[in-house]
Structure 1
Amino acid sequence: MQSFQLAKRLKLPLLILTLIFYFYGLGRLPLLGSDEPRYAEVAREMLARNELITPTLGGHTWFEKPALMYWMMMAFFRLFGVNEWSARAPSALGGVMTILLLYWMVRRVEKNEDEGLAVWSAAALATSAGCIVFSHAASSDMILTMTVTAALASLFASEIERDAKRRRLLLLGFHAAVGLSLLAKGLVGVVIPYGVAGSYFILRRERPSRETLLSLIWGAPVSLLVAGVWYAPVIARHGWTFIDQFFIQHHFSRFVSNKYHHPQRFYFYLPILLMLLVPWTLFLIISLIGARRWDFHEDSPHARLRVFSLAWLVLPVLFFSLSVSKLPAYILPVLPAAAVLVGERLKNFMEGEDRNWIMRATGALLFLLAVFGIQYVARTHVVSWSCALVVVAPLVAAGLLSLIAPRLRKLCVVSCGAVLFLVPALLVNCDMTKVASRDSVRDLLQAATAKGYGAAPLFQLHEAERSSEYYAAGRLAYGQDGEPLRLEDVSYVESEAGARGTILVLVPSKFSYQLYQSPKIITQEIGDNGAFALYAVRAR
């Protein structure tokens, strides 16, 4: 009863805070890494050409990802302008929708009972580090998580639905969402839903119902029809080029080879999963340890939900563990399943069924994160000490509270969740913009524009800096292979400056001296972000 009353009071505030937090600060930082700038630029180019079929980057076809992410970015660009906030908003929307879909699925299990499990599961997902981080990044990962959650939530709801008409509608929703998953990230959008469904029935040692099996006959065409909105015209237009680049190179080669340079150990995803679930890591571990006592054949909706969540958690982790190429975001679609298992333990804890040590261990985890944060700042000096202390203060407070007073269960649980909302908000309002500038050329190019070089073509010397593909769009030189042109030595800079007049040259800071040593060019420094330096160069 205590869990139900608190969950009921938290439901509306949690929804409001999630909506605010997930869309807050999306535009404060520049687009970072190699993916965010490129995905945003593809969407911008498609919008500029009023193109819905062929993704391009720098005018060259770009078949790394399907179209759903680009379509969502284009919609936000049209509504709110072409900027960092709009590029990241689709992921934030995907995160919020995933949380709501999870709540809807678990609530169907509880029906007329109290809604404690639904609220605690949604809260665990909303306040997990993985969901928060990837909902604030311009990528397809949270969008795939949303569509996979829609598919699996519909499938599970059909399993516990007694009304035949509603059951068919839910199965229709499953197959339609599989089609959307194909549009979100390709073939993995089929592998995860069908793999989880198969694993669920294997774990329960039962056959799918006749209606579920028959739905494959009419459901597969539904999935293909939804996905075919993009796949059919893009294959018709580009043929083998698309099939080779999209399916063979970015699907099969990525899975079986190290072509894209992301090799990891087989067990790589085990620690990654634990990190994605912070601060609820210990609750997940306890839930998985307790799985050995489950009755996998029990027919109640709650028992089915446990087994379904376990299958949803294990299958994708095992599948991607077999892949040669591994990235943390690959297993993001398992977070809703993990949140259900965590939510059940949180509900039990609030009702006094679990001992206080689990909250003490969670407090210790938060306190250790604060200590590691301080050590990192002391070693790297990436932010000021005042900023670091402000950011770690909530971690220390929540950690100490959970360590010292775990009997204050309501306060401890709420504070541990709230700290995952508060810390990122403090980060984006502190020194993170300065830190992020090292991984982006946005500020350097803005400085160049202020000095009158806003139209000068941009060349890169020795190394390619990926954020330039967005921030220097239309001015960045590309090679015939569709990759940003990298000049091998200063002689090429001399040649381009002689042919084009004043140019901008982006060079790793450690190689800046090479430009000054050339007697054939005049070099003016625009700025240096610590990783790359930008120069205006013209021939003597």
Structure 2
Amino acid sequence: MLNTPARREFWLLATMALLVLGAGLGLRDPWPSDEPRFALVAKQMVLSGDWLFPHRGTELYSDKPPMLMWAQAALYSVFGNWRVAFLLPSLLAALGTLACVYDLGRRLWTRRVGLYAAWALLFAVHFTFQAKKAQIDPLVVFFITLANYGLLRHLLCGLAWRWWWLGWFAAGLGVITKGVGVLALLMVLPAAVASLLGWPRVRLHVRDWRFWLAPLAFVLAVALWLVPMVLAATSSGSVEYRAYMNDILFRQTAKRYAQSWDHHQPWWYFLATMPSMWLPAILVVPWAIPAWWRRLRRRDPRYLMLLGWWLLIVLFFSIPHGKRDVYILPALPMFCLALAPLLPGLLRRRDVQWLLGAFNVLLVLALLGAGIAMLVGQPGFESRLILQRGIDTSVTAALGWIGVALGAWGMASLCFSGARRRHVAVLSTLAMVWVAYGLVGYPLFNDSSSARGLMQQAGQRIGADAQLGLVGWKEQNLLMADRPATTFGFKRRWYSQLQDGVAWQAQAPQQRWLLVQEAAVLECIDRNRAERVGVANRRGWWLVPADAVVGPCRPSARELARITLEQGREAPEE
């Protein structure tokens, strides 16, 4: 990057990445399903000072290791703003992932290949969509990619023991972020195959004592969280802490993989997910496969290791019944890296350019169609947004104009790009979509999606001096409450929460109100005396004063069946 054109190309990539991924930072609150959960846990860490055992309300939260929540809490301690702190780990992780891919492509091939790999990854729909969300996956993708970076620097670029150790250490950090971080180490398998077959450039050097320091680096990274947690849980004498330790170490890892209890999908699920989520890069795979095969026949270990690892990840997650699209997201960076050396040649093909142009046309038609449907008041489309999201017609009108504007931008990009540069039109259209999503979509959807609007209305209705209890609540309700709210458990049955809430309310009936999810409202609540405060996240909510409770809140068989069904539908979010 010594000459001016190279510097310009790099900074264009860096600027575009920051713009696309960072647009909207600070303009919204956490949105369901996972974001409010992690942000609430992080907030309670800061307020309580207990960073070792995460809490959700009054209950311990053992579904995930605390790495993301630690990052959010630490960044809040620096910036003092939750709207920035909860999204910043994902942004930094995504930028770090792009940097690893770029530099690895530069070292394994050329600077140009590194740029192509980073551009392909930046605009892969799956990557960008997740990078703009405050979930664990962007962070674990970064640690796995960093681990791959360290391993490949050592295995393919000449002996580099520090990078080898860093690769194993990063995999350990991935484990305490989300257990699947260990999958980065599967890169050793195709490397071993290449070494045994005598392919050039790859040697494991297992007889060197420095090789065996790497597992110690992995254990050290895992121990940073595991050892203090286990020592505290076993020495505290607390039954809850021991249950937390057993759940997160056994049930949420090996048992969850072997006996998946949610998100059941067929074995071929990821074969359908990748073509839809890895657009637009996945479009050129039919032309890439023969090229990959030719390079494998030439015994090029770079392709064997990248493609072999990608296939191992897909195979690993295809075995259990439980599957989600984010499970294979860590494989996307290595896929883009394997594709990048072929892109300069593939993008010169007329048929590839025709396909990319067709993709851009479909995207434009979808944007225009959605925008026009909302502007002309197409009943089915608009009413679903209003009823399910709790938004008004002014928001749907604004969304309609945004859709039309984005469609017009996509058409203009297609016209000005020319027949040989349809890929530029695709990138231009997607870039504007993501920027508009962050800068305009965030503020428009925030009140209804985050429950901020609902909780503000509830707070205004009951007054500043009243106390609020939550029944059938979701994390966003407690997170967005304008005052300390009382909860009656989270995983408990809703009717049990309501019974305890009514008893709590009876102790100070003039000052205490209950905010109850509509599905949890039993016949003991007189809806004529209660107040339906609004809709948020496709759920209705009622404010219940003490005089609206007209009988004992014991559910009938019909109500019990209904509540069990409704609460069961929300369980997969856990």
For residues 463-510 of structure 1, give each alpha carbon's deviation from its aligned partner in whole angstroms, at most 9, with x where no partner exists.
Answer: 54342242238414132xx53662369877655543342444444557
Name the % identity: 19
Does the 8 A contact of 2:126 with 2:329 survive in 1?
A: yes
Which amino acid in structure 1 is aligned with residue 148 of structure 2? L
Is the counterpart of residue 445 in structure 1 residue 439 in structure 2? no
For residues 319-360 of structure 1, give each alpha carbon's deviation from its aligned partner in whole angstroms, at most 9, with x where no partner exists.
Answer: 11112211111111111112113322322245x3xx111122
CA RMSD of superposed structures (Å):
3.0
- SS at the partner of 1:539? helix
Matches within 5 A, 1:171-320: 171-186=164-179, 188-190=180-182, 192-202=183-193, 206=197, 209-212=203-206, 214=208, 215-239=210-234, 240-259=242-261, 261-296=262-297, 298=299, 303-320=300-317
Does the 8 A contact of 2:90 with 2:131 survive in 1?
A: yes
Does the 8 A contact of 2:468 with 2:515 survive in 1?
A: no
Counterpart in the other structure of 1:365? 359
Q: CA–CA distance in 1 between the matches of 2:527 and 2:40?
A: 34
**Which of 128, 138, 143 does residue 142 from structure 1 map onto?**
138
Matches within 5 A, 1:400-415: 405-407=418-420, 409=421, 412-415=422-425
Is the counterpart of residue 334 in structure 1 residue 335 in structure 2? no
Q: CA–CA distance in 2 between the matches of 1:266 and 1:368?
A: 29
Matches within 5 A, 1:389-468: 389-398=404-413, 405-407=418-420, 409=421, 412-430=422-440, 433-435=443-445, 437-453=447-463, 456-460=467-471, 463-468=472-477
For residues 16-62 of structure 1, give each alpha carbon's deviation from its aligned partner in whole angstroms, at most 9, with x where no partner exists.
Answer: 22123322213323312231111111111112233332222213222
Shift of 1:204: 7.0
Change beyond 3 A, Cα 1:216–1:67 = farther
Does the 8 A contact of 2:469 with 2:485 survive in 1?
A: yes
- SS at the partner of 2:29? coil
Change beyond 3 A, Cα 1:291–1:419 = same
Q: CA–CA distance in 1 between the matches of 2:365 and 2:495?
A: 44
For residues 83-108 of structure 1, give each alpha carbon's deviation from its aligned partner in whole angstroms, at most 9, with x where no partner exists.
Answer: 23211110111000000011111111
Q: CA–CA distance in 2 between the matches of 1:489 and 1:537?
A: 16
Change beyond 3 A, Cα 1:333–1:484 = same
Q: CA–CA distance in 2 between the matches of 1:488 and 1:371?
A: 50
Q: Please, what TM-score do these two structures have when normalized by structure 2?
A: 0.80
**Structure 1: gaps (5+ residues):** none
Does the 8 A contact of 1:40 with 1:87 survive in 2?
A: yes
**Which of 325, 347, 357 does residue 322 from structure 2 map onto?**
325
Q: CA–CA distance in 2 between the matches of 1:267 and 1:59?
A: 40
Q: CA–CA distance in 1 between the matches of 2:151 and 2:352?
A: 33
Shift of 1:212: 5.0
Q: CA–CA distance in 2 between the matches of 1:510 and 1:224?
A: 46
Change beyond 3 A, Cα 1:44–1:511 = closer
Q: CA–CA distance in 2 between the matches of 1:107 and 1:297?
A: 21
Q: CA–CA distance in 2 between the matches of 1:244 and 1:28?
A: 38
- SS at the partner of 1:487? helix
Change beyond 3 A, Cα 1:432–1:89 = closer
Greater relative contact order (CA < 8 Å, ≥ 6 in sequence) = 1
- Count the aligned residue pairs: 510
Does the 8 A contact of 1:490 with 1:515 survive in 2?
A: no
Change beyond 3 A, Cα 1:322–1:203 = farther
Counterpart in the other structure of 1:532? 540
- SS at the partner of 1:294? helix
Shift of 1:400: 6.0
**Which of 328, 345, 348 does residue 345 from structure 2 map onto?**
348
Which amino acid in structure 2 is aligned with residue 470 of structure 1? L
Q: CA–CA distance in 1 between the matches of 2:520 and 2:71?
A: 40
For residues 208-259 of structure 1, give each alpha carbon's deviation from its aligned partner in whole angstroms, at most 9, with x where no partner exists.
Answer: 7352565552111111112211110101112453442112211123212242
Does the 8 A contact of 1:234 with 1:242 survive in 2?
A: no
**Which of 109, 124, 127 does residue 128 from structure 1 map onto?**
124
- SS at the partner of 1:459? strand
Q: CA–CA distance in 1 between the matches of 2:214 and 2:168?
A: 5
Is the counterpart of residue 39 in structure 1 residue 38 in structure 2? yes
Change beyond 3 A, Cα 1:96–1:270 = same
Counterpart in the other structure of 2:67? 68
- SS at the partner of 2:533? strand
- SS at the partner of 1:533? strand
Does the 8 A contact of 2:168 with 2:185 survive in 1?
A: no
For residues 396-438 of structure 1, give each alpha carbon's deviation from its aligned partner in whole angstroms, at most 9, with x where no partner exists.
Answer: 4445667xx432x3xx333322322210221234455444544
Q: CA–CA distance in 2 between the matches of 1:432 and 1:400?
A: 29
Counterpart in the other structure of 2:557? none
Q: Please, what TM-score do these two structures have when normalized by structure 1?
A: 0.85
Change beyond 3 A, Cα 1:428–1:380 = farther
